[in-house]
Amino acid sequence: MTCVAALIIFWFIPSFPEEAKWLTEDERAFIKSRLEVDMGRSAHERKVTAKDVGRVFQDFKIFLGGFMYCE
């Protein structure tokens, strides 16, 4: 049931505040400012490059988190 719900909800929940049609401009600006405080600028504003992917795989915390799930 969870997988079915996930597939349905995937099409209704936007990835970025800029894509949410039901938000007003004030609400979008508020959400974007909160996201910038939490994690920097929105990824919606630029493309992911191979250098970005390389930096992810250089971070030991990614591998550590993966090993935590292997038992």
Per-residue pLDDT of the chain (71 residues; tens, 9 = 90+): 999 999 888 888 887 787 788 888 899 889 888 887 777 665 556 777 899 889 888 988 888 988 888 86
According to DSSP, residue 12 is labeled: T
Contact between 32 and 42 under an 8 Å Cβ cutoff? The reply is: yes
Give the distance from CA 3 to its chain's centroid: 19
C-alpha triplet 6, 12, 14: angle, nearest 5°: 105
Neighbours of 44 (CB within 10 A): 13
pTM more than 0.75: no
Phi, psi of 64, deg, nearest 5: -60, -45
